[in-house]
Amino acid sequence: MPTENERKYVLSDAAALRALWSDWSEIRQGYLPGDARIRRQTRDGVPHDSFTYKIEAAGRLIEIETAMAEPRDFDDLWPLTTRRIHKLRRTETDRHGLQWDVDLLLDAAGAFYFAMAECEMPEAMDAPPEVLPALAPFVAYAVPRDRQGEFVNARLADPGYAAGLRF
Per-domain residue ranges of the chain = 6-164
Which ranges of the chain have pLDDT less than 50?
none
Tell the CATH topology of 6-164. Hypothetical Protein Pfu-838710-001 (2.40.320)
Note the pLDDT of residue 87: 97
Nearest-angstrom CA–CA distance, 134 and 132? 6
Shortest CA distance to 153 belongs to which of 37, 63, 68? Answer: 37
**pLDDT at position 34, please?**
82
Q: What share of the chain is helix, strand, coil (3-state, %, to 5)?
A: 20, 45, 35
Q: Compute how many other C-beta atoms are within 10 angstroms of the C-beta atom of residue 83.
A: 15
Q: In whole angstroms, give the CA distance from residue 28 to residue 111.
A: 15
For 147, residues 6+ apart whose C-beta sits below 8 A from its C-beta are none
pLDDT of residue 96: 95
List pLDDT tens digits, range 102-127: 999 999 999 999 999 999 999 889 99
Percentage of residues in the chain having pLDDT higher than 90: 87
Query: How many Cα atoms within 13 Å fall on the side-chain side of residue 11?
Result: 29
Q: Would you say 24 and 88 are in contact if contact means Cβ atoms under 8 Å apart? A: yes
DSSP string of 51-82, one letter each residue? EEEEEEETTEEEEEEEEE--HHHHHHHGGG-S
Whole-angstrom distance, CA of residue 10 vs CA of residue 166:
11
Phi/psi of residue 24, nearest 5 degrees:
-110, 150
